[in-house]
Amino acid sequence: MAKDELMNYEKALEQFEVVIGLEVHVELNTNTKMFCGCRNEFGDEPNTNVCPICIGLPGSLPAVNKRAVESSIKIGLALGCDIAPNGRFARKNYFYPDLAKNFQTSQYDEPIAFEGSLEVEVPSGNTFTVQIERAHMEEDAGKLTHVGGSTGRIQGAEYSLVDYNRAGVPLVEIVTKPVYGAGAEAPELAAAYVRSIREIVKGLGVSDAKMERGNVRCDANVSLRPHGQEKLGTRTETKNVNSLRSIERAVRYEIQRQAALLAKGTAIIQETRHWHEDKGATSSGRPKSDADDYRYFPEPDLVPVQPSKEWIEELRAGLPEKPADRRKRVQAEWGFADLEFRDVVNAGLMDQIEESVSAGAKPQAARKWWTGELARIANSQDKDVIDLEISGAYVAELANLVEAGKINDRLAREVLTYVLDGEGSPAEVVAKRGLEVVSDDGALIAAIEAALAKQPDVLDAIREGRMQAAGAVIGAVMQAMKGSADAGRVRELLIEMANK
Amino acid sequence: MSEITPDLVRHLANLARIDVTDQEVDLFTGQLGLIVDSMAAIKEAVAGDVPATSHPIPMANVYREDVVEPSLSQAEALSAAPDSADGRFRVHAILDEE
């Protein structure tokens, strides 16, 4: 892969205006596929969730999954879109083995939802309105595994293996209009937008929304134009950027790469590009086909989708609270300062904290654990916090053990590692491993006396009112008991002994 | 005359992954041109107020409930495949498009 020349980011922004456009594919969590009754399931044995319809055998006829249509309408409504009174499916023709039919059933000029918008907040606290052009229904493609060449199992042999379990899984593709004016924050906006979409579809319950499983995938369009120029620059489309962090990095990379080319007078090629997480770079893919090359035409095997007003209104009435409204409400309920709350939102931890609070944790304690120790652990494992194997209820239990004085912060962090290792709930771990703080006076007094033997002047100092002298003894006791002493109780005992 | 040219036929053949001889290009240029011209004649015959129709019978909203039905077994699914390996269909690699 040839190394691209990159322009310094700040310099690129001085010279050019950034325009982005985002296409997000959301895989729906229906029981069955879009057009047939095969299971929609991740991780099954290859080619076991397939039938004549989804492997394109002659004579098979598709039938639309009603729940997939319902989920698509819900997504459209949540994005403030109009729902088309008459929608049609279309064939997008291309010959590639990820779909056995040689076309993808999609929607073309009559998508189910159109003209919406979404308010997106970026980490700085700035808010941008992203205009949604459309959301349409389509089917996912199968999974290809390339064998041979550099990975060569058989020397020189190059072929691909195809698993059609995913072929026909319902997708909703959400397409934005060009987004202007984000400037230096364009990469953050792209990531925050995808995070918002993820929040929405998860809140609607229509998708599992796991990016690492490809439930939510993003293609990012980036183009640059000199400040003041009206005509849009040539765009590139970076495909399948599969984590929030890589979306941000990929957009930033494209800005720097395109700026360097444009500054030299080189034209940008309209093409798809691929993001390589390991190299932190994009590489050239195929030149972007014209829409004409897909020879879209109305799908003759499926009749139009005409959702009734009653159905749409029923679905609208059942929508969950809007994310922006919910944010306002919970911030007030939890009493978080703006900055504290922004950290929570940016880390995507509202659901987790809400779960912990409803399981009995104090909001500040829940926030402290989720954005503090748990975020630190996730970061050290290169994971998203929400992917850690711990429930909001367990975090509440942990926070409440600390609150009740059963464990201190240091012990709590130790308990947490065992909980994450799957040893059970925090209370179970404390009981099983005997991690409770020692507040048993007998054991504490013995440790205090041992410490006092080395520092005999401390009791006199306390009697004279110099309480800071107690610190040395408390520290020694803590050390002797490996951090499990109840520091408050040690202090009380010391004062009692001094006054005896 | 239609806009179908020999180059367009070659482009279409390439999109469809079909090898065509020069002779076939000439043949298809004529045939496709005839179809496109015929469609143009029909287009002229209908006024602008006729909506595009994908189905002759006005039908809509034919749905299937989201209920799992039996799938093929892996062996059945692969039985008609020219080639397979590891429970998957085996095809020529087309790496430059991935």
Q: Is the pLDDT of residue A155 over 50?
A: no
- A449: amino acid identity, one letter: E
* Burial bucket for residue A33 (CB in 10 Å: 0-12, 13-18, 19+): buried
Contact A66 B74 (CB under 8 A): no
Q: Is the pLDDT of residue A154 over 60?
A: no
Q: Is the pLDDT of residue A151 over 60?
A: no
Which residues in B34-61 are b (16+ Cβ under 10 Å) and which e?
eeeeeeeeeeeeeeeeeeeeeeeeeeee
Residue A245 vs residue A222, higher pLDDT = A222
Count of pairs with CB atoms under 8 A, one residue in A, one in B: 140
B97 pLDDT band (50/70/90 cuts)?
very low
pLDDT cut 90: percent of chain A above it = 64
The pLDDT tens digits of the residues spanning A347-373 come to 889 989 999 999 999 999 999 999 999
Among A36, A50, A303, select the one facing B59 at the smallest CB separation.
Answer: A303
A150 pLDDT band (50/70/90 cuts)?
low
Least confident of A155-159, A199-203, A211-215, A392-396: A155-159
Residue B40 lies in a domain: yes
For the segment A85-95, the average pLDDT, to the nearest whole number, is 93
Q: Is the pLDDT of residue B98 over 70?
A: no
Contact A158 B93 (CB under 8 A): yes
Does residue A344 share a domain with residue A215?
A: no
The winner for highest mean pLDDT among A23-37, A151-165, A437-451 is A23-37
Does residue A389 share a domain with residue A346?
A: yes
Q: How confident is the model at residue A1, as a pLDDT?
A: 59
Contact B93 A299 (CB under 8 A): no
pLDDT cut 70: percent of chain A above it = 97
Would you say A224 and A170 are in contact if contact means Cβ atoms under 8 Å apart? no
Residue A283 touches chain B, beta carbons under 8 Å: no
Does residue A179 share a domain with residue A154?
A: yes
Residue A417 vs residue A469, higher pLDDT = A417
Distance CA A158, CA A486 (A): 66
Q: How confident is the model at residue A490, as a pLDDT?
A: 85
The pLDDT tens digits of the residues spanning B19-60 come to 999 999 999 999 999 999 998 888 888 877 777 777 788 889
CATH of the domain at A446: 1.10.10
Range of the domain at A369: 321-402
Least confident of A10-24, A149-163, B35-49: A149-163
Residue B34 touches chain A, beta carbons under 8 Å: no
A20 pLDDT band (50/70/90 cuts)?
very high
| End-to-end C-alpha distance for chain B, whole angstroms | 39
Residue A220 lies in a domain: yes
Residue B42 lies in a domain: yes
Question: Which residues does A32 contact at the CB level (< 8 Å), separation at least 6?
Answer: A38, A39, A40, A65, B64, B66, B67, B68, B69
Does residue A378 share a domain with residue A308?
A: no
Does residue A325 share a domain with residue A280?
A: no
CB atoms within 10 A of CB A435: 19
Q: How confident is the model at residue A171, as a pLDDT?
A: 98
Q: How confident is the model at residue A313, as a pLDDT?
A: 97
Contact A69 B63 (CB under 8 A): yes
Does residue A243 share a domain with residue A143?
A: yes
Residue A333 lies in a domain: yes
Residue A301: list chain B partners with CB under 8 A: none
Contact A46 B86 (CB under 8 A): yes
Residue A479 lies in a domain: yes
Q: How confident is the model at residue A177, as a pLDDT?
A: 98
- Which of A384, A402, A420 is at the close of a domain? A402
Q: How confident is the model at residue B95, as a pLDDT?
A: 54
Residue B68 lies in a domain: no
Residue B73 lies in a domain: no
Residue B75 touches chain A, beta carbons under 8 Å: no
Residue B97: list chain A partners with CB under 8 A: 96, 285-286
Q: How confident is the model at residue A153, as a pLDDT?
A: 46
**Residue B33 to residues A24, A477, B30, Cα–Cα distance (Å):** 39, 95, 5
Residue B72 lies in a domain: no
Residue A421 lies in a domain: no
Would you say A94 and A103 are in contact if contact means Cβ atoms under 8 Å apart? yes
Would you say A27 and A173 are in contact if contact means Cβ atoms under 8 Å apart? no
Give chain B's domain count: 1
Cite the beta strand spans of A149-253 per DSSP E: 158-163, 170-176, 216-226, 236-241
* Burial bucket for residue A136 (CB in 10 Å: 0-12, 13-18, 19+): buried
Residue A416 lies in a domain: no
Contact A36 B86 (CB under 8 A): no
Q: How confident is the model at residue A141, as a pLDDT?
A: 96
The pLDDT tens digits of the residues spanning A101-138 come to 999 999 999 999 999 999 998 988 899 999 999 999 99
Give chain A's domain count: 3
Residue A433 lies in a domain: no
Q: Is B28 helix (H, G, I), strand (E, B) or coil?
A: helix
For the segment A158-174, the average pLDDT, to the nearest whole number, is 95
- Mean pLDDT for chain A overall: 90
Residue A221 lies in a domain: yes
Does residue A303 share a domain with residue A186?
A: yes
Q: Is the pLDDT of residue B2 over 70?
A: no
Does residue A199 share a domain with residue A177?
A: yes
Q: How confident is the model at residue A149, as a pLDDT?
A: 62
For the segment A76-80, the average pLDDT, to the nearest whole number, is 97
Range of the domain at B30: 1-49
Residue B54 lies in a domain: no
pTM of the model: 0.78
The pLDDT tens digits of the residues spanning A242-289 come to 889 899 999 999 999 999 999 999 999 998 999 998 889 999 887 666
Q: How confident is the model at residue A433, as a pLDDT?
A: 84
Residue of A nearest to B8 (CA): A293
- Which of A314, A348, A365 is at the close of a domain? A314
Residue B90 lies in a domain: no
Give the ranges where A178-298 is alpha helix by DSSP (H).
186-204, 244-263
Residue A412 lies in a domain: no
